[in-house]
Structure 1
Amino acid sequence: MYAEISMEQELVKGRLLQQLELSQEKYGERTVYTADPGIKIYQYAVAPANLQTLATETVQEIPVTINNKSGKLKTQLHFFAYQQEGQVYILTYLEDRAIVMENYPVLAIFENLGDLFFNALMVAVSLSLLIAVIFSHLSSKQITKPLLELKQAVETDHQNLTELTHLPSEVGVLARAIDAQNKKLAQYLKREQLFTGDVSHELRTPLTIILGASEVLASQLADDSYLSEFTDRISNTAKETSEIISALLLLSRNPEQLDTPQTSINTIANSEVARLNYLLKYKPVTCTVVAEQDYVADVRPELLKMALGNLIKNAFQYTDNGEVIVIIDAKKITVTDTGLGIPEIVMPLLYERFERLGYNNTSNQTDSDFLSDKHSSSQVEGTGLGLSIVQRIMTHMGWELTHQANETGGSTFSIHYH
């Protein structure tokens, strides 16, 4: 295409220079020479302004519209600047195929070649784009196929991952890294399950001994002995610890492996309130369980007991006066208290392990009255595991735990089980 354009320019230039020489010999010095077909030569001073601006020594083309016998015709005007003995000329040639074919057959051939080359170039570009699209589509499939296989292997519990680890490509390297990491994770999980099972097994024996000893001790006491309260506490604590161990053992298993019998939420709530009522013994705090009917949920009672027990225990511990209300309905279990509430600074760490919700965490608060009012809560004993355990149980069961601060003070925790 470039060669054709260059040759056409040289032909136009040669023809126009030849016509300039012929016109000078025939007419002498003039400001404008006109020669058929379609040739017009100007001295620079009288040339159209647009040609004066655009003309250079190289032949150029601009589109123009002319009137002929058949009406208006769109064509090309060829022009260039030429200097001769101090005089600058602008030579122009108006392209007309009929005239060119009759008078300049060689130039006509090159103009036809130009059209042919242009059309061929458009076809080649179109075909190239189509081939590029097809090739990109096919090659992308080949490139992404191993990645999709790797994704499928990871999503299907790594059933086909071993086949991909033998690939020499980058996908094989990635598959081997994932496989190695999976084996490490499997070992960690196995160790955790073994540890939980071993701990539960080893603790059951001393707990059974403590429980048996407390029953023997209780039988040796008189019915009205003040020591009976302590033997009951020992017996109840041993039973609760045994239930906690059972719940932790359930948490170490996959949720799909657990059976979920229908469990009475009301019974669990009332039982936990009664069990933890000793925390309110010396406080002006009341606790009420509100439920319109007996609600049930498909859940292991040990897990529900641990989750709800932790929420009620926190409400009892952090409420110095007022009331704690446990509300049960068809969608959620709500534990509302009028206690100290949770400061904003603790909210990002609400469900973190070993993060206490006591107000000793707010040492950077500037309001001294606020700190003094909350001082008693910092003395509450605890490990900072309660809410993290509840959150873990919720995740394990596919439930949701939410928190909301009360306008009048205190907190509301909700277990959404439907």
Structure 2
Amino acid sequence: MVAAYVLLAVIIVGFFAGSTFFVVAEIENELIDKRLARAADLWKADSFNPVLPKTIDLRFFKGKQIPPPLLRLDLGTHELRLNGRSLHVLIGEARGERYAVVDDQSDFESIESSSYIALGIAFLGGIALAILIGRASASRVILPLTNLATAVQEEREPGELPGLDATDEIGVLARAIEDRTNQLSLALQRERWFTADVSHELRTPLTIMLGAAEVLTSRLRDRPDLVVMTERIRRNAADTAQQVGALLQLARAPESTDLSLVALRPLIEHEIERCQPLLRGKPLTLRFVATEEVSVQAVPELVTIAVSNLMRNACQHTEQGVITVRLDAGKIVVEDSGTGLPETVRNRLFDRFVRGSEDFTSGSGLGLSIVKRVAEHLGWMVSHDLGPNGGSRFTLLFSNA
């Protein structure tokens, strides 16, 4: 708005300034140059009266009477300063002899300079006035918007937004933001309640399943074939309980999450052990490389579910070769020797319900999206690159090691 006012002032004042310059130039042409031409015509006329120059306030010189500074001038009208005076001089020639008509326009030049100075002051004053009016108008219009934006950023309670009672466009915007914020808050609250309720309700049956599986394992020691089945039940129940705990952690706000120091080497080794059943029947090796002991401030359940999803994803999509899990000071890298991912999937890889292959029917397409949510919740980053052997390489990057 300030720029609009200034531009308007520049256009208006510039138009008047240009008009003023044009008018002054025309006045100078009419009052001085043409008057000199008419006086020259009188000089050449046979009826010239030597007394006339005194009445028309002009000075005439002829032949040798022309002052030396004027002798160097060409034929025509000239403007020059001589002895501190502003002169308009017409040099002409009649009957083979030069003549000069001189008009002292010092007073006119002084008035002209004063007019230009006044015009410049008026121009600058107009621009300054436009800036003041523009800032005042912009403040009146923009200030309520900035106050409203500040209130939204501060996450004030419902009903505390400024401008809710206004009848202008600010009021319409404030009420729309208030209504939308309430809807989003209710939706978020319902999601958190649902996640918390589901997690709470599932914990009891999962605990019962784990207890029953342990009892069966102890009673069936003489039946190795059944112990394998009970162990599978126990392991899946434990995995489900862990995922339920991680989902409950994700339902909480990141700033309210309780962090603890998590040692990553034993956590990764435990997940590698849990992934061994996925390698049965495949010429596939799962290798772990750790250059040093690394600990991070995080939530153990969330780190476990992120690492588990990356490793299980690699095991399920790789039929042969090597899967390498590498732990460095600031990252965890899971790299496989599979066929890689198609180009159409890479850009949407971390979206919900996106699978690694159009022909792949198992899985829900939620594993990598959960990994991304975990990374965002912990303030980490997860990325995908092509592996050197044509497979996929997932990097879980953390900065608080």
Report the TM-score, using the length of structure 2 for normalisation.
Answer: 0.76
Equivalent of residue 130 in structure 1, options 128, 131, 139: 128
Deviations 1:258-281 (A, max 9, x none): 111111111211111111210001
SS in 2 for 1:342: coil
Please name the residue that 1:86 is paired with. none
Counterpart for residue 270 of structure 1: 269
Is 1:206–2:205 an aligned residue pair?
yes
2:155 partner SS = coil
How many residues align? The count is 352
Q: CA deviation at 1:292?
A: 3.4
Letter of the 2:121 counterpart:
V
CA distance in 1, matches of 2:286, 2:79: 97
CA RMSD of aligned residues (A): 3.4
Letter in 2 for 1:281: R
Q: Find the residue that maps to 2:161 and give its secondary structure.
A: helix
Q: What one-letter code is carried by the residue in structure 1 that aligns with 2:306?
A: A
Instruction: State the distance in 2 between where 1:198 and 1:417 align.
Output: 31
Q: Distance in 2 between matches of 1:142 and 1:227?
A: 79
- Which residue is 1:57 aligned to? none
Q: Percent identity?
A: 34
CA 1:211–1:393: 2 relative to 1, 3 Å: same
Residues 25 and 392 (structure 1 numbering): CA distance in 2 closer, same or farther, change over 3 Å? same
Match of 1:407 in 2: 388
Q: CA deviation at 1:95?
A: 4.0
Q: Is the 8 A contact 1:333 1:415 kept in 2?
A: yes
In structure 2, C-alpha distance between the alignment counterparts of 1:408 and 1:8, rounded to whole Å: 87
Change (3 A) 1:238 1:121: same
Tell me which residue corresponds to 1:175: 174
Aligned residue among 144, 147, 150 for 2:148? 150
8 Å CA contact retained: 1:150, 1:161: no
Q: How big is the shift at 1:405? A: 0.9
Q: Which residue of 2 aligns with 1:37?
A: 58
Query: Does the CA contact (< 8 Å) of 2:162 and 2:174 recur in 1?
Result: no
SS state at 2:262 partner: strand
Residues 144 and 170 of structure 2 are in contact (CA less than 8 Å); yes or no, is this contact kept in structure 1? yes
Q: Aligned equivalents of 1:352 and 1:226: distance in 2? A: 41
Q: Answer whether contact 2:36 2:90 (CA < 8 A) is retained.
A: no
Contact 1:166 1:172 in 2 (8 A): yes
Letter in 1 for 2:370: I
2:372 counterpart of 1:391: yes
**Residue in 1 that maps onto 2:47:** 26
1:405/1:26 Cα in 2 relative to 1: closer, same or farther (>3 Å)?
Answer: same
Q: Classify the secondary structure of the residue corresponding to 1:349.
A: coil
2:303 and 2:270 map into 1 onto residues whose CA distance is: 12
1:249 aligns with 2:269: no
SS at match of 1:294: coil
Question: In the alignment, what sits opposite 1:96?
Answer: 104
Deviation at 1:356, TM superposition (A): 0.8
**Secondary structure of the structure 2 residue equivalent to 1:130:** helix
Name the CA distance, whole Å, in 2 between partners of 1:318 and 1:193. 33
The code of the aligned residue for 2:382 comes to L
CA distance in 2, matches of 1:266, 1:222: 32
Counterpart-to-counterpart distance in 2, 1:318 and 1:272: 17
Distance in 1 (CA, whole Å) between partners of 2:262 and 2:81 is 97
Q: Are the equivalent residues in 2 in contact too, given 1:5–1:114 (CA < 8 A)?
A: no
User: What SS is found at the alignment partner of 1:323?
Assistant: strand
Q: Partners of 2:245 and 2:194 in 1: how far apart?
A: 13
Q: Is the 8 A contact 1:39 1:93 kept in 2?
A: yes
Distance 1:394 1:140 in 2: 43
> How far did residue 213 of structure 1 move?
3.2
TM-score, normalization by structure 1? 0.74
**Contact 2:199 2:245 (C-alpha < 8 Å) held by counterparts:** yes
Correspondence for 1:119 among 113, 117, 120? 117
Structure 2 unmatched ranges of 5 or more: 1-19, 50-55, 62-72, 92-99
**SS of match in other structure, 2:339:** coil
- Distance change (3 Å), C-alpha of 1:304 and 1:5: closer
For the 8 Å contact 1:161–1:179, the answer to whether it is kept is no
Q: Which runs of 5+ in 1 are unaligned?
A: 29-34, 41-47, 52-61, 80-91, 99-107, 361-377
